[in-house]
Each structure stands twice: as C-alpha cells, then as structure tokens.
Chains A and B, each alone.
Chain A
Amino acid sequence: MTGHLVAAFVLLNAIILVVTYITLLERKFAARMQSRVGPYYVGWPHGWLQPIADALKLMLKEDVVPAPSDRWVYNLAPVVFLVPCLLIFATIPFAPDLGLADLNIGVLFFLAVSALEIVGLFMGGWGSNNKYALLSAMRAVNQIISYDLPFIFAALVPVVLTGSMQMSAIVAAQEGLGGWFVLYPVIGQLAFVAFVIATLAAENRVPFDILEAESELVAGFRVEYSGMKFALIQLGEYAHMLGTSFLGALLFLGGWLGPGPAWLGPVWFLLKAVVVFLLVTWVRWSFVRIRVDQILAISWKLLLPATVVLLMATALVVALGGGRGA
C-alpha cells in the first residue's frame, strides 16, 4: 500500500515535470516553424527556466472569481478537469513491470477516464456564467463526444489485432522487425492516421480548437479563469495530450521496444511519445481552424464510418489468422 502511494507520488511529480517541459518544447518547435527564436532569456541556454517562471507567475497571480459565477461549480471545475487527465497515466506501463497498474483492461480504463475531462470542461464553461464560456462549453460537449467515438475505434484496432486490452500485451505483440502496428499493412497506417486526427480533436488542437477559439470566443471556457486555476486547466490539457501521445506510442509505435539494453526502454517510449506529440503540434501550427458544423460533419460523416469499417476489416483479418495475439 505504502509502496503504491510512493510510486503514485513519484509518477505524478514526474508527469507534471515532463508536462511543464513539454510546453517549452512546443514553444520552441512552434518558434522554429514561424522563423522565431522562442523563449530565450529566462535561463541559459535557450530559456530552459521559462516553464518554471510561467508556473511561478501563475501561482502568484490574484485569484479572481467573477461575481455572477456559480461559485461551487466554478471553483471545482479545474480540479474535476485535472484529475482524469492525470489518472490516465495510472495504467500506462513505461517498461515491462514499470508502471502503477498494468490492468488487464488497461486500454478501456484509459479511454473511459480520458473521456471524463468533458465534465470538468463543461462545469468550467457553465459555472463562469459568461456567454463566451457558455458557447464554448456547448461546443465542447458536441465536439468531444463526437470525436471520442472515432478515437476509441481507432485505438481498438491494435487491441483487436492483439486480442488483449492489457497494454503490456499489446507492446509484446509488436516485438520483432517491422512488428509495430503502424507498420501493419494498410490497416495499421489508416488506424494511425485516424488516431492522430481524433487526437487533435479530442485535445482541442487547431484545426479543431473551436473550444478555445480565441478569435471568436476570446478564450472559450477558461475565459474567466486566472492564476492557479488557469494553471490547473492548462496542466490538465497538456497532461491529457502527453497521455494520449504515450497511448499512441504504445499502441502503434511499439512502446518501449527498441535497440539497445532493456533499461533504455523508458527512454525509447518517451521519445516515441514526443514524436507523436510533435506530429500533433506540427499540424496545429500549420492549419487554420474549421467551423463547428464542419467539425461535426467530418466526425459523423467521415471519420466515424471510416473507423467502424476499419475495425470490422481488422476483425476479419484477425478471423483469417492475421492476428498477433499470444
């Protein structure tokens, strides 16, 4: 019991540290794309203390609660938003036997918990009692529910190929040269593309960031949040993003598998997750945002039927003996 608590404490802090620095990575990456330098002055070299400075600034800011807001809902929302975003890391193994809980329904747990973020999001938008936030919350419910389905179906393709929902089993099934599911003929690539698109939408990234949509809704559901509450929402968002990147690396890119000794496994895993993260970031900084009706049309008319067909095709392949399960 104590061991689990210590492990959870260590993992949580490690996650928060990585999340803090992944924001720096994104800012540097975006800056390179935009022919800028990015954060530079806080900390030598290349502004490596910038995330710490940002966190400190947010902590020191005054906590403003708008008078017409629904106090309970408003104050609770950042926490409700953050908890599932951190909880998804519980089932991710970072190497064989290195993880909090390698559940036999790991993928299902991840998908179920990650879908819970919508509750906090809607609470924030509703509790702020602000028209921009309300519109954003309505968009959030529409969008996230629409995209969770294709997200789940895309994530289920490796599960069906493996025949197990246990994350370590899925990685084990990708052993060997060309064993990664992203390299699985046709099905693997299509599923990975669908997964990345659905990730963009589930993470509210451009071109699907209509929740935030600062040119229309100023800052969307978090327009009224400041200081530490804003920091919690931001942390949750990036943690969710990192968690999904880990899931993508685990399902499609072979998790901790890689050349070199076994202790390099977690390093490979992190590198692959960063690659998925940068892929999503690359799309984010190159596209314009699309409209709410177009987002829903893409999900229901294109992505959802496509992923369902893909899943059925996968099932057929497995039935014909193409599975990789133990």
Chain B
Amino acid sequence: MTDREQRAAVLPGGVAAGAPARDGVPATRDGVAAAPRTIEIGYGGNERLMMNMGPQHPSAHGVFRAILTLEGETVVAVDAVIGYLHRCHEKLGETLTYVQYPTIASKTDYVAAMTAELAYVAAVEKVGKVEVPKRAQYLRVLVAELQRIASHCLWLGTWCMDMGGALGGGATIFLYCMREREAILDLFEALTGARLLYGFHQVGGTRYDLPAGWTEKCRATIDVVERRIDEYEAMLEDNAFFLVRTRGVGVISRELAQEVGVSGPLIRGSGVAYDIRRHEPYSSYEDFQFTVPVETAGDCHARYRVRMQEFRQSIRIVRQVLDGLPEGPISSRPGVKSVGQVRIPKGEGYARVEGARGEVGCYIVADGGPKPYRMKWRGASFSNLAVLPHIIPGHKVADVVAIMGSVDPVFGEVDR
C-alpha cells in the first residue's frame, strides 16, 4: 500500500470507490473528497528539506509519521500519515459478542483503557436499555477518574521528555510521573488483576467489586499523588525554560478548535468550557462536585494548565466516590456464564464519555443477536490529531514535538 492509499483507508471520505459504511448508507454523505492534508505557509525562495519524523521516532508517541518540509529550522508544511497501528477494531466489534468485546475495547486507548471500555458498555446499555445499579455507576466513576490521573501522569512525563530529552530534566519528570502512575496501576491490579488492560466493565455493571482494604489504600495513594502534583508544578512553573518552550507555542484558537472538532483538554485550553461529564452527565456524574477547568490562551501552556487542574478535580471526585459509595449489587445482570449471554434488541445508539484525551464515543447498531451488527469508534486522539497541520507550520522543529506532546495522542486510539 502506498502512503496515500493507506491514508485513504482510514480517513473519512477517503474510501473513494464507494464502499459503504454499512448496508443502505451511502459511502460519503456529500460526496466531497477528503480535505487537503497539507497546509503550507509562504516563504520566499529558500531551499527546502523534507524530513520524516516517524514512524519510528523517539517522540512519535507510538507509530506516527509526520513528513515535515523544512526551511532551515522552520517547518513550512506538514503531512501526516497514520494507520500503522490499524487493528480492525470496528470489524472486531462485529465479530465479538457483547460479553467478549469490553476486554478488547481497552486495547483501543491502551493508556486509558477504563474509559474506552466504559464507552462501549455505555453504548450497549443505551441501545439495550440496560439498567446499571448505583454502586456500579459509582465504581465506574471511580475507575474512570483514577484512570484519568494515571493517563495524565503518562502524558506529563512523555511530554516533558519530548521537550527535555531522555538525557535531561525531561527524563527526571518522566520517572517521577511513572512512579505515581505505578501506584495507581497497583490499585487497578488489586481491583482487576490487570495493570493495563482491565476488562473491568461489563454490560449492566462492573465485573469486580472493591476488595477488602482497597478503599484505604486508594485514599493513601491519592493523597501522595496530590502532594506530588504540587511538586511537579513547583518544578515546572517556576522554570523559565519550561515557560519559554510552552507559552505561545501551538496556539489553537477557539474558532479552530470548534471547527476541527477537538475535544477534552485541547478545547478547554482554547476557552471552551466543554466537558461531557458536566453537559451530558453519565454514570451518575451529576452526583459529584467538580469544576471544569478552562484556559483561554490555547497554547501548549494552557493545555498543560488544564490538565494539571484536572488532576486535582479527579482527585476530588475520587474522594467523593469513596465517601459516598452506596451498598448494593455491582451488576444488574448475572455473572458471565457464556459468551452469547447478552442479547440486545434491534436498535442503534451512540454513547460518549469524557476520556482523558477528550470525547470517546461508540456507535452501536444492534440486530437482536449477541453481537452488534455494526460498531463505530470515535477516538478522541484521532480527532485531536487533525488539528496538527493547522498549528504546526511556522514553528521550529523543536516545537513540533512540544505541540505533538501537548495534543497527547495515543496511536492505538487514532488507528484503532
């Protein structure tokens, strides 16, 4: 496959030969070809250098290929190639049952697996009108927020490593962040037996309840994490080098953010107070008190500020869940006995949750059987990544990695 064909396979409107999204639905809504992928800014007559950043590159955060056109150190055009990690998740969703797929759903966004699972089971529950007990809803909020903390820890570490180097201060922050993430993964291990890909959610509730002593351990962990976040901020915010690298770099204007459709910390960093937890509460989020952090600058530093405040809000929510966890069953359905156990009546629906990177959505078309007829993911990273060609041109090579890190893409979720 050439680059262009590879891109065509994953980009909307790219499958030009008219392959329908599913039976009875036209291939493209308006027949418009894919939008131009390269955005150039004019520079006068200098020699240009094409440079590949990726697919194997220390700061690619996975397998992403950015073809940069350089004039000296300045990037004048960027072309993005994705699809190296495409694993046919949507087809897998059609071949696996409602019981089986949640564990696979974690592999879309492997850094925040809990929210990916949650998006899938929420969609199934919406289509099948399955009740979820209150305790299970609270447990879902609990793991989703812990997952957000863990995911943001990884983001902060890798982003600083992009800017600071694996042989410099960036590595120091990275190792500090990994230390905190480990503590949270230990909690998940005690809860589900797995550290990265959990299979915690199931249609109708959760698969596991909190083990004895877990609550105390969780409280102790988040206390430590809260203290450490203050330390990171002290290390970064008073650091002039960190500020000059992030302030005014990679500005996403409010209009651009809304036009491209970014979500999560990106759109909140651009002055739009959009958070699904607040605007379309799911899984009892309306029971909890938290603020939606918003910054208006739209640059890397604003996105950093938003995520640092989200750390604290997540910790706040976790404490509220632990305080107010109701007694009761953890699932409205009996435990799993066979893979075809769950059947969902005919219908279709879309559910979305606020993941660590933005809106994670899942669209399910059910036909009454134990498997969905068609399934579609909306990955937050995929939509967020689309903003890169708009903001990178005009910056230096060093800023490219800072901007890419501030977008926080996970390529399992981009390519699916």
B163 touches A33 (CB 8 A): no
B245: A residues at CB distance < 8 A: 288-291
A289 touches B175 (CB 8 A): no
Residue B151 at the A interface, CB < 8 A? Answer: no
B160 touches A214 (CB 8 A): no
Residue A57 at the B interface, CB < 8 A? Answer: no
Residue interface mask B35-50, A partner, CB < 8 A = 1: 0000000000000010
B163: A residues at CB distance < 8 A: 215, 288-289
Residue B58 at the A interface, CB < 8 A? Answer: yes
B401 touches A216 (CB 8 A): yes
Residue interface mask A58-97, B partner, CB < 8 A = 1: 0000000000000000000000000000000000000000
Q: Which of B161-214 contact A (CB under 8 A)?
A: 161-172, 175-176, 179
What distance in Å separates the Cβ of A187 from its nearest Cβ neighbour in chain B?
A: 24
Name the residue of chain B whose CB is nearest to the CB of A215: B59
Q: Which of A5-58 contact B (CB under 8 A)?
A: 30, 33-36
What distance in Å separates the Cβ of B55 from its nearest Cβ neighbour in chain A?
A: 13
Name the residue of chain B whose CB is nearest to the CB of A34: B175
B239: A residues at CB distance < 8 A: 287-288
A286 touches B172 (CB 8 A): yes
Contact of A212 among B162, B167, B171, B398 (CB under 8 A): B167
Residue A324 at the B interface, CB < 8 A? Answer: no
Name the residue of chain B whose CB is nearest to the CB of A293: B396
* Bound form: Cα–Cα A35–B177 in Å: 11
* Bound form: Cα–Cα A116–B314 in Å: 54
* Bound form: Cα–Cα A207–B58 in Å: 18
What distance in Å separates the Cβ of A315 from its nearest Cβ neighbour in chain B?
A: 31
B161: A residues at CB distance < 8 A: 215
B166 touches A207 (CB 8 A): no
Number of interface residues of A (CB under 8 A): 33
A291 touches B165 (CB 8 A): no
Name the residue of chain B whose CB is nearest to the CB of A217: B397
A206 touches B175 (CB 8 A): no
Q: Which of A213-253 contact B (CB under 8 A)?
A: 213-218
A218: B residues at CB distance < 8 A: 57-58
Residue B242 at the A interface, CB < 8 A? Answer: yes
Contacts A207-B168, A292-B73 given; does A215 touch B58 at CB 8 Å: yes
Residue B220 at the A interface, CB < 8 A? Answer: no
What distance in Å separates the Cβ of A300 from its nearest Cβ neighbour in chain B?
A: 16
B232: A residues at CB distance < 8 A: none
Residue A117 at the B interface, CB < 8 A? Answer: no
What distance in Å separates the Cβ of B394 from its nearest Cβ neighbour in chain A?
A: 13
A288 touches B170 (CB 8 A): yes
B164: A residues at CB distance < 8 A: 206-207, 287-289
A139: B residues at CB distance < 8 A: 73
A30: B residues at CB distance < 8 A: 171-172
A214 touches B165 (CB 8 A): yes
* Bound form: Cα–Cα A288–B165 in Å: 7
B73 touches A289 (CB 8 A): no
Contact of B399 among A35, A207, A210, A291 (CB under 8 A): A291
Number of A-B contacts (CB under 8 A): 110
What distance in Å separates the Cβ of A201 from its nearest Cβ neighbour in chain B?
A: 13
Q: Which of B138-166 contact A (CB under 8 A)?
A: 160-166
What distance in Å separates the Cβ of B366 from its nearest Cβ neighbour in chain A?
A: 45
Residue A149 at the B interface, CB < 8 A? Answer: no
B58 touches A214 (CB 8 A): yes
B244 touches A209 (CB 8 A): no
* Bound form: Cα–Cα A36–B171 in Å: 12
A215 touches B162 (CB 8 A): yes
Residue A113 at the B interface, CB < 8 A? Answer: no
Residue B51 at the A interface, CB < 8 A? Answer: yes
Contacts A135-B73, A214-B166, A216-B397 given; does A288 touch B241 at CB 8 Å: yes
Q: Which of B50-65 contact A (CB under 8 A)?
A: 51, 57-59
B49 touches A131 (CB 8 A): yes
Residue interface mask A276-296, B partner, CB < 8 A = 1: 000000001111111111100
A207 touches B241 (CB 8 A): yes
What distance in Å separates the Cβ of A102 from its nearest Cβ neighbour in chain B?
A: 36
Q: Which of A296-316 contact B (CB under 8 A)?
A: none
What distance in Å separates the Cβ of A181 from its nearest Cβ neighbour in chain B?
A: 27
Q: Which of B204-259 contact A (CB under 8 A)?
A: 235, 239, 241-242, 244-245
Contact of A35 among B51, B166, B175 (CB under 8 A): B175
B242 touches A288 (CB 8 A): yes
What distance in Å separates the Cβ of B406 from its nearest Cβ neighbour in chain A?
A: 13
* Bound form: Cα–Cα A207–B72 in Å: 21
* Bound form: Cα–Cα A207–B397 in Å: 16
B172 touches A33 (CB 8 A): yes
Contact of A292 among B175, B244, B398 (CB under 8 A): B398
Name the residue of chain A whose CB is nearest to the CB of B244: A294
* Bound form: Cα–Cα A16–B72 in Å: 37
B170: A residues at CB distance < 8 A: 206, 215, 288-289
* Bound form: Cα–Cα A202–B82 in Å: 39
A285 touches B172 (CB 8 A): yes
What distance in Å separates the Cβ of B249 from its nearest Cβ neighbour in chain A?
A: 9
Name the residue of chain A whose CB is nearest to the CB of B57: A218
B176 touches A35 (CB 8 A): yes
Contacts A35-B176, A212-B167, A284-B168 given; does A291 touch B396 at CB 8 Å: yes
A132: B residues at CB distance < 8 A: 51
Contacts A135-B397, A288-B160, A291-B398 given; does A213 touch B241 at CB 8 Å: no
A286: B residues at CB distance < 8 A: 169, 172, 235
* Bound form: Cα–Cα A247–B70 in Å: 39
A35: B residues at CB distance < 8 A: 175-176, 179
Contact of A285 among B59, B70, B168 (CB under 8 A): B168
Residue B365 at the A interface, CB < 8 A? Answer: no
25 interchain pairs, CB-CB under 8 A: A30-B171, A35-B175, A35-B179, A132-B51, A135-B70, A135-B397, A207-B164, A207-B168, A209-B167, A210-B398, A212-B165, A214-B166, A216-B401, A218-B57, A284-B167, A286-B172, A287-B239, A288-B160, A288-B170, A288-B239, A288-B241, A289-B164, A289-B165, A290-B244, A294-B244
